[in-house]
Structure 1
Amino acid sequence: MKLKTIPVKINRKLLVIAFLAASISVTAAATINQPEPVHYENLKVLPKDISAHDLQSIMADDFEDGLGVTCGFCHANSKNGHGLDFVSDAKPEKEITRQMMRMTIGINKKYFKLKHPKIGNAALVVSCETCHKGQAFPDGKL
Protein backbone atom coordinates (compact mmCIF):
# COMPACT_ATOMS: atom_id res chain seq x y z
CA MET A 1 0.00 0.00 0.00
CA LYS A 2 1.40 3.35 -0.99
CA LEU A 3 1.01 6.35 1.36
CA LYS A 4 0.50 9.78 -0.01
CA THR A 5 2.82 12.52 1.29
CA ILE A 6 1.21 15.87 1.77
CA PRO A 7 3.53 18.89 1.46
CA VAL A 8 3.39 21.12 4.52
CA LYS A 9 3.38 24.82 3.84
CA ILE A 10 5.00 26.98 6.47
CA ASN A 11 3.27 30.22 6.98
CA ARG A 12 5.82 33.02 6.73
CA LYS A 13 4.04 35.17 9.26
CA LEU A 14 4.03 32.33 11.77
CA LEU A 15 7.74 31.75 11.20
CA VAL A 16 8.57 35.46 11.69
CA ILE A 17 6.45 35.64 14.85
CA ALA A 18 8.14 32.52 16.25
CA PHE A 19 11.59 33.93 15.48
CA LEU A 20 10.77 37.27 17.12
CA ALA A 21 9.34 35.56 20.20
CA ALA A 22 12.47 33.43 20.54
CA SER A 23 14.70 36.50 20.14
CA ILE A 24 12.77 38.44 22.76
CA SER A 25 12.90 35.50 25.16
CA VAL A 26 16.68 35.12 24.79
CA THR A 27 17.25 38.86 25.19
CA ALA A 28 15.01 39.03 28.28
CA ALA A 29 16.76 36.05 29.86
CA ALA A 30 20.19 37.58 29.25
CA THR A 31 19.09 40.89 30.76
CA ILE A 32 17.57 39.27 33.84
CA ASN A 33 20.68 37.20 34.57
CA GLN A 34 23.11 40.12 34.50
CA PRO A 35 24.48 40.81 37.98
CA GLU A 36 23.88 44.22 39.47
CA PRO A 37 26.98 46.41 39.55
CA VAL A 38 28.71 46.39 42.91
CA HIS A 39 28.78 49.69 44.78
CA TYR A 40 31.71 49.94 47.14
CA GLU A 41 31.67 52.25 50.13
CA ASN A 42 34.50 54.45 51.37
CA LEU A 43 36.68 54.40 48.25
CA LYS A 44 38.71 57.60 48.39
CA VAL A 45 41.44 57.02 45.79
CA LEU A 46 40.17 54.15 43.66
CA PRO A 47 37.27 54.89 41.30
CA LYS A 48 33.81 54.51 42.86
CA ASP A 49 32.64 52.44 39.87
CA ILE A 50 35.58 50.02 39.90
CA SER A 51 34.70 46.47 38.88
CA ALA A 52 35.02 43.60 41.34
CA HIS A 53 37.65 42.08 39.04
CA ASP A 54 39.77 45.25 38.95
CA LEU A 55 39.50 45.80 42.70
CA GLN A 56 40.50 42.21 43.44
CA SER A 57 43.39 42.49 41.00
CA ILE A 58 44.69 45.65 42.69
CA MET A 59 44.36 44.17 46.16
CA ALA A 60 45.95 40.83 45.25
CA ASP A 61 48.54 41.80 42.66
CA ASP A 62 49.57 45.26 43.81
CA PHE A 63 49.13 45.20 47.57
CA GLU A 64 49.42 41.55 48.62
CA ASP A 65 52.27 40.75 46.22
CA GLY A 66 53.95 44.17 46.33
CA LEU A 67 53.96 44.38 50.13
CA GLY A 68 53.83 40.70 51.06
CA VAL A 69 50.74 41.24 53.24
CA THR A 70 47.19 39.94 53.46
CA CYS A 71 43.93 41.89 53.63
CA GLY A 72 44.04 42.12 57.44
CA PHE A 73 47.15 44.29 57.24
CA CYS A 74 45.04 47.31 56.22
CA HIS A 75 41.47 46.20 56.93
CA ALA A 76 40.09 45.95 60.47
CA ASN A 77 38.27 42.91 61.79
CA SER A 78 34.50 43.17 61.67
CA LYS A 79 32.72 43.90 64.94
CA ASN A 80 30.86 40.59 64.85
CA GLY A 81 34.17 38.71 64.65
CA HIS A 82 33.45 37.18 61.24
CA GLY A 83 35.76 38.40 58.51
CA LEU A 84 36.96 41.92 57.81
CA ASP A 85 35.21 45.27 57.80
CA PHE A 86 36.35 46.64 54.44
CA VAL A 87 34.53 49.96 54.94
CA SER A 88 36.13 50.75 58.30
CA ASP A 89 39.02 53.21 58.62
CA ALA A 90 39.96 51.89 62.07
CA LYS A 91 43.46 50.81 61.04
CA PRO A 92 45.95 53.59 60.23
CA GLU A 93 47.54 51.38 57.55
CA LYS A 94 44.51 51.98 55.35
CA GLU A 95 45.06 55.75 55.28
CA ILE A 96 48.80 55.23 54.79
CA THR A 97 47.95 53.07 51.77
CA ARG A 98 45.77 55.84 50.35
CA GLN A 99 48.64 58.31 50.78
CA MET A 100 51.02 55.89 49.05
CA MET A 101 48.58 55.43 46.15
CA ARG A 102 48.31 59.21 45.72
CA MET A 103 52.10 59.47 45.89
CA THR A 104 52.71 56.85 43.17
CA ILE A 105 50.03 58.42 40.95
CA GLY A 106 51.71 61.82 41.45
CA ILE A 107 55.19 60.48 40.70
CA ASN A 108 53.99 58.77 37.53
CA LYS A 109 52.22 61.94 36.39
CA LYS A 110 55.00 64.39 37.20
CA TYR A 111 58.15 62.49 36.32
CA PHE A 112 56.98 59.95 33.77
CA LYS A 113 54.36 62.12 32.08
CA LEU A 114 51.58 59.54 32.30
CA LYS A 115 48.42 61.55 31.66
CA HIS A 116 45.95 59.49 33.68
CA PRO A 117 47.87 57.00 35.82
CA LYS A 118 45.67 54.55 37.69
CA ILE A 119 46.56 52.13 40.43
CA GLY A 120 46.64 48.63 38.97
CA ASN A 121 47.58 49.77 35.47
CA ALA A 122 50.57 47.90 34.07
CA ALA A 123 51.76 51.15 32.43
CA LEU A 124 52.73 52.61 35.83
CA VAL A 125 56.47 53.10 36.06
CA VAL A 126 56.43 53.47 39.84
CA SER A 127 54.21 51.10 41.81
CA CYS A 128 54.12 49.56 45.28
CA GLU A 129 56.64 46.94 44.18
CA THR A 130 59.18 49.61 43.20
CA CYS A 131 60.04 50.38 46.82
CA HIS A 132 58.45 47.62 48.86
CA LYS A 133 59.78 44.67 46.85
CA GLY A 134 57.40 42.27 48.61
CA GLN A 135 57.95 43.65 52.12
CA ALA A 136 55.44 45.53 54.27
CA PHE A 137 58.05 48.12 55.17
CA PRO A 138 60.50 49.21 52.44
CA ASP A 139 63.54 49.25 54.69
CA GLY A 140 62.62 45.95 56.32
CA LYS A 141 62.18 47.56 59.75
CA LEU A 142 59.11 48.41 61.79
Structure 2
Amino acid sequence: MIKKNSILLMASVLLSVTLCSLSLPQQHEKAKNLKVLPKNISHEELDNVMKGFKEALGVKCSFCHDPRKDDPKKLDFASDDNDHKKIARDMMRMTQRINKKYFKGQTAEAVTCYTCHRGHDEPLTSPQAAK
Protein backbone atom coordinates (compact mmCIF):
# COMPACT_ATOMS: atom_id res chain seq x y z
CA MET A 1 0.00 0.00 0.00
CA ILE A 2 2.85 2.43 0.86
CA LYS A 3 4.54 1.67 -2.48
CA LYS A 4 1.30 2.41 -4.35
CA ASN A 5 0.86 5.73 -2.49
CA SER A 6 4.47 6.69 -3.24
CA ILE A 7 3.97 6.03 -6.93
CA LEU A 8 0.77 8.07 -6.97
CA LEU A 9 2.50 10.91 -5.13
CA MET A 10 5.44 10.88 -7.57
CA ALA A 11 3.05 10.82 -10.55
CA SER A 12 1.09 13.77 -9.09
CA VAL A 13 4.27 15.79 -8.54
CA LEU A 14 5.50 15.02 -12.05
CA LEU A 15 2.14 15.99 -13.56
CA SER A 16 2.08 19.25 -11.57
CA VAL A 17 5.60 20.20 -12.65
CA THR A 18 4.79 19.41 -16.29
CA LEU A 19 1.59 21.47 -16.24
CA CYS A 20 3.34 24.42 -14.58
CA SER A 21 6.13 24.40 -17.14
CA LEU A 22 3.61 24.41 -19.98
CA SER A 23 1.84 27.47 -18.60
CA LEU A 24 5.01 29.55 -18.15
CA PRO A 25 5.96 31.85 -21.03
CA GLN A 26 8.92 30.52 -23.00
CA GLN A 27 12.22 32.26 -22.37
CA HIS A 28 13.87 33.04 -25.69
CA GLU A 29 17.57 33.44 -26.13
CA LYS A 30 18.59 37.04 -26.79
CA ALA A 31 19.28 37.62 -30.47
CA LYS A 32 22.98 37.81 -31.30
CA ASN A 33 24.91 39.58 -34.05
CA LEU A 34 22.24 42.14 -34.94
CA LYS A 35 23.86 44.77 -37.14
CA VAL A 36 20.88 46.61 -38.65
CA LEU A 37 17.92 45.72 -36.46
CA PRO A 38 17.82 47.23 -32.96
CA LYS A 39 19.79 45.21 -30.41
CA ASN A 40 16.90 45.46 -27.94
CA ILE A 41 14.28 44.10 -30.38
CA SER A 42 11.87 41.68 -28.72
CA HIS A 43 11.69 38.08 -29.83
CA GLU A 44 8.15 38.66 -31.15
CA GLU A 45 9.19 41.74 -33.15
CA LEU A 46 12.19 39.91 -34.59
CA ASP A 47 9.96 36.97 -35.50
CA ASN A 48 7.58 39.34 -37.32
CA VAL A 49 10.43 40.96 -39.26
CA MET A 50 11.76 37.56 -40.32
CA LYS A 51 8.28 36.38 -41.35
CA GLY A 52 7.98 39.54 -43.44
CA PHE A 53 11.25 38.73 -45.21
CA LYS A 54 10.09 35.18 -45.90
CA GLU A 55 6.80 36.39 -47.40
CA ALA A 56 8.34 39.24 -49.40
CA LEU A 57 10.98 36.97 -50.96
CA GLY A 58 9.02 33.70 -51.03
CA VAL A 59 11.84 31.86 -49.22
CA LYS A 60 12.43 29.81 -46.10
CA CYS A 61 14.70 30.73 -43.17
CA SER A 62 17.50 28.58 -44.60
CA PHE A 63 17.79 31.00 -47.54
CA CYS A 64 19.73 33.41 -45.28
CA HIS A 65 20.64 31.21 -42.30
CA ASP A 66 23.05 28.27 -42.52
CA PRO A 67 22.73 25.11 -40.43
CA ARG A 68 24.50 25.00 -37.07
CA LYS A 69 27.78 23.13 -37.10
CA ASP A 70 26.96 21.26 -33.87
CA ASP A 71 23.39 20.37 -34.95
CA PRO A 72 22.70 20.61 -38.72
CA LYS A 73 18.95 20.18 -38.11
CA LYS A 74 18.90 23.64 -36.47
CA LEU A 75 19.83 27.00 -37.99
CA ASP A 76 22.68 29.22 -36.82
CA PHE A 77 20.91 32.58 -36.76
CA ALA A 78 23.99 34.49 -35.55
CA SER A 79 26.33 33.24 -38.28
CA ASP A 80 27.40 35.57 -41.10
CA ASP A 81 28.57 32.74 -43.38
CA ASN A 82 25.61 32.99 -45.76
CA ASP A 83 25.99 35.76 -48.35
CA HIS A 84 22.20 36.17 -48.59
CA LYS A 85 22.19 37.41 -45.00
CA LYS A 86 24.82 40.02 -45.84
CA ILE A 87 22.82 41.12 -48.88
CA ALA A 88 19.64 41.31 -46.76
CA ARG A 89 21.38 43.69 -44.36
CA ASP A 90 22.47 45.91 -47.26
CA MET A 91 18.92 45.89 -48.62
CA MET A 92 17.56 46.84 -45.19
CA ARG A 93 19.96 49.79 -45.02
CA MET A 94 18.96 50.82 -48.55
CA THR A 95 15.21 50.76 -47.82
CA GLN A 96 15.80 52.65 -44.56
CA ARG A 97 17.70 55.37 -46.44
CA ILE A 98 15.01 55.60 -49.14
CA ASN A 99 12.21 55.82 -46.59
CA LYS A 100 14.06 58.41 -44.50
CA LYS A 101 15.00 60.59 -47.48
CA TYR A 102 11.84 60.44 -49.59
CA PHE A 103 9.04 59.48 -47.22
CA LYS A 104 9.82 61.50 -44.07
CA GLY A 105 7.00 61.79 -41.60
CA GLN A 106 4.96 58.88 -42.93
CA THR A 107 4.04 56.35 -40.29
CA ALA A 108 4.20 53.26 -42.52
CA GLU A 109 7.27 52.28 -44.48
CA ALA A 110 6.70 53.26 -48.08
CA VAL A 111 9.42 51.01 -49.50
CA THR A 112 9.82 47.45 -48.23
CA CYS A 113 11.38 44.22 -49.49
CA TYR A 114 8.09 43.40 -51.18
CA THR A 115 8.22 46.62 -53.22
CA CYS A 116 10.84 45.04 -55.50
CA HIS A 117 10.80 41.33 -54.73
CA ARG A 118 7.06 40.61 -54.97
CA GLY A 119 7.48 37.11 -53.54
CA HIS A 120 10.63 36.22 -55.52
CA ASP A 121 14.12 35.70 -54.13
CA GLU A 122 15.51 37.94 -56.87
CA PRO A 123 13.77 41.22 -57.78
CA LEU A 124 12.08 41.17 -61.15
CA THR A 125 13.78 43.40 -63.70
CA SER A 126 10.96 43.34 -66.23
CA PRO A 127 7.24 42.59 -66.16
CA GLN A 128 6.26 38.94 -66.21
CA ALA A 129 4.58 37.77 -69.39
CA ALA A 130 0.79 37.65 -69.21
CA LYS A 131 -0.60 34.16 -68.61
Identity among equivalent positions (%) equals 48
Q: Pairwise mapping of residues 115-134 of structure 1 onto structure 2 (< 5 A)?
A: 123-134=108-119
SS across alignment from 1:54? helix
Indicate yes or no: 2:74 matched with 1:83.
Answer: yes
Structure whose alpha-carbon radius of gyration is higher:
1
Q: CA deviation at 1:92?
A: 0.5
Q: CA deviation at 1:107?
A: 0.2
Indicate yes or no: 2:94 matched with 1:94.
Answer: no
Q: Pairwise mapping of residues 44-63 of structure 1 onto structure 2 (< 5 A)?
A: 44-60=35-51, 62-63=52-53
Structure 1 unaligned segments of length 5 or more: list them: 1-32, 116-121
CA 1:137 to 1:46, structure 2 compared with 1: closer, same or farther past 3 Å? same
Aligned equivalent of 1:73, options 43, 63, 67: 63
Distance 1:77 1:34 in 2: 27
Residues 112-140 of structure 1 show CA distances to partners (whole Å, capped at 9, x for unaligned) of: 1148xxxxxx7100000000001000127
Distance 2:124 2:74 in 1: 30
Distance 1:136 1:72 in 2: 12
Structure 2 unaligned segments of length 5 or more: list them: 1-23, 126-131
The equivalent residue for 1:136 is 121
Q: Which amino acid aligns with 1:131?
A: C
Could you state the TM-score of these two structures normalised by the residue count of structure 2?
A: 0.70
Distance 1:136 1:100 in 2: 13
State the Cα RMSD in Å.
2.0
Distance 2:103 2:95 in 1: 11
CA 1:76 to 1:35, structure 2 compared with 1: closer, same or farther past 3 Å? closer
